Amino acid sequence: MAQRVTAWVGWVWFAAFAILVSGLFNVISGAVAVFSPKTVVSWTPDGIAVVDVSTWGWVHLALGVLLLFVGFALFSGAGWARVFAIVLVILNLLAQFVSLPITPWWSLIAIVLDFFILWALTVHGDEVARANR
């Protein structure tokens, strides 16, 4: 018995588009951090933390390129793209938590967006393959 595609498949299209936007912003912020190498000094209760922004920029740049790749692949409905997207979004979520002291507002927005993406891909991701048949 074939399962029908519901309107919830729109959440997966939203997730694919949001991954593209997140990947683009990661590429931009990563490139800015890489090409303007600076360090950020953060005051913590335990002392001073010095963060090399250019090194962390390479992480955001590479993650952004991978997110762009998987975002486009999600539109095809490939099962591997959904699994790869879930892994990359979790990595992006962790990267945004680490970036929280440096860019708090953008990191919070990206964290909330990543949770919506994860929800859409895990709950309704299989409908994309059925929609593309």
Query: How many distinct structural domains can be found in the chain?
Result: 1
Q: Is the model's pTM score more than 0.95?
A: no
pLDDT band for 64, please (50, 70, 90 cuts). very high
Would you say residue 41 lies in a domain? Answer: yes
Would you say residue 79 lies in a domain? Answer: yes
pLDDT band for 1, please (50, 70, 90 cuts). very low
Domain extent, residue 75, equals 11-126
pLDDT in tens, 97-123: 888 877 789 889 999 999 999 998 888
Would you say residue 106 lies in a domain? Answer: yes
Would you say residue 132 lies in a domain? Answer: no
What are the residues whose beta carbons fall under 8 Å from the beta carbon of 111, sequence distance 6 or more? 93, 96, 97
Would you say residue 101 lies in a domain? Answer: yes
- Tracing tokens 């303007």 back to the chain, one arrives at 36
Cα distance between residue 45 and residue 32, in whole Å: 29
